[in-house]
Chains A and B, each alone.
Chain A
Amino acid sequence: MHDQQETMLTELMSIDFAIIELNLYLDTHPNDQRAIEMYNMNVQKSKQIREQYEMLFGPLTARYSTSKKSWQWISNPWPWNKNFMNRIEG
């Protein structure tokens, strides 16, 4: 994984984490308007970055992403691989 991909993925991961955290908070505080606004804002941001990321680097999900001529979903690295977020050396 190269610099630009890692930078974009890190940004997406941090926004998606905020979404998870706000989701859990809202489950037990469903009428907190400020949290709902924050949730909606993060979902919008996530959608934008996701779209750009998938156009440049391939699908994040098999279910909601389209593929180019070859089936890109299977391409290495997978998230648990050591080089998934380490810059490829050499």
Chain B
Amino acid sequence: MWVYEKKLEYPIKIKNANPRMAKYIITQYGGPDGELGASLRYLSQRFSMPTEEAKAILNDIGTEELAHLELVGSIVSQLTKNIPPKILEEQGLGGYYTDHDHAIYPVSASGVPFSAASIQSKGDSIADLYEDLAAEQKARATYENLIRLCDDPDVIDPLRFLREREVVHFQRFGEALMIVQEKLNKKNFFVNKKIF
């Protein structure tokens, strides 16, 4: 189970509103390579992982992704706080405002609502860990695209933090994959055998 802590994983202190940037950043809330999908992917895959290390890393990274979901939501919320509808519309958020007002809703940058079709939980630890490695790289690339589109240091700073976390998670998943492969390759185990 989980316990909520009344603090963020990393400080978000944005002085200036920027609805245009919010429209892009929300993709890391509910888009195909966003934090919601990441968390659901890892927290779902952990049930079928074969080693202690792999169960733990999926559980703990899946949990950290929930903290990242909160960071992204906080950024979007602060970038759009109290902005009048006409300005939201001018900066590309007219459709979003119509459906969600100033609320935070999981969509991609192009407005597609969150879909579990963007994640997989295959029950095959090798397939799942390779997907996790790819997912971290796709999230890293997305944060880099966002940083290129952004010119506010208050926003770039937490985006850089989130990007760095993707790099660390990739490293940890790579180690978990090696540990699982080593176990699968031991004598008396078939490579495709899922349960030890």
Residues of A in contact with B (beta carbons under 8 Å apart)? 9-10, 12-13, 16-17, 20-21, 23-25, 27-30, 59-64, 73, 78-80, 82, 84-86
Interchain CA distance A9-B60 in the complex, whole Å: 23
CB pair B3–A61 under 8 Å, yes or no, is yes
Interchain CA distance A84-B6 in the complex, whole Å: 10
Quick one: given A80-B77, A82-B81, are A24 and B7 in contact (CB under 8 Å)?
A: no
Determine the chain A residues whose CB is within 8 A of the CB of B57 once the complex forms.
Answer: 24, 27-28
CB pair A13–B6 under 8 Å, yes or no, is no
A24 vs chain B, min Cβ distance (A): 5
B74 sits at the interface (CB 8 A): yes
Interchain CA distance A50-B78 in the complex, whole Å: 27
Instruction: Please choose the segment from B33-41, B110-118, B140-148, B172-180 that sits at the chain A interface, where 4 or more of its residues have CB less than 8 A away.
Output: B172-180
Give a binary string over B3-30; 1 marks a CB under 8 Å from any A CB, 0 the rest.
Answer: 1111111111111000000000000000
CB pair A24–B4 under 8 Å, yes or no, is no
Extra A-B contacts (11), CB below 8 Å, given A61-B3, A80-B74: A13-B8, A17-B9, A20-B9, A21-B168, A24-B60, A27-B56, A27-B176, A28-B53, A28-B175, A79-B8, A82-B78
Complex A-B, nearest 9 residue pairs according to Cβ-Cβ distance, in ascending order:
A28-B175, A80-B74, A27-B56, A27-B57, A63-B3, A79-B8, A85-B11, A82-B78, A24-B172
Interchain CA distance A64-B2 in the complex, whole Å: 12
Determine the chain A residues whose CB is within 8 A of the CB of B7 once the complex forms.
Answer: 9, 12-13, 16, 60, 79
Determine the chain A residues whose CB is within 8 A of the CB of B8 once the complex forms.
Answer: 13, 79-80, 84-85
- Which of A27, A61, A63, A64 is within 8 Å of B53, CB to CB? A27
Interface majority SS (helix, strand, loop, mixed), chain B: helix
Determine the chain A residues whose CB is within 8 A of the CB of B172 once the complex forms.
Answer: 24-25, 27-28
Quick one: given A24-B61, A28-B172, are A80 and B73 in contact (CB under 8 Å)?
A: yes
Determine the chain A residues whose CB is within 8 A of the CB of B131 once the complex forms.
Answer: none
B64 sits at the interface (CB 8 A): yes
B51: nearest chain-A partner, CB-CB:
A28
- Counting chain B CB atoms within 10 Å of each CB, the highest count among A12, A21, A24 belongs to A24
B178: nearest chain-A partner, CB-CB:
A28
Determine the chain A residues whose CB is within 8 A of the CB of B6 once the complex forms.
Answer: 59-61, 73, 78-79
CB pair B60–A30 under 8 Å, yes or no, is no
A20 vs chain B, min Cβ distance (A): 6
CB pair B5–A61 under 8 Å, yes or no, is yes
- Counting chain A CB atoms within 10 Å of each CB, the highest count among B5, B6, B10, B172 belongs to B6
CB pair B3–A64 under 8 Å, yes or no, is yes
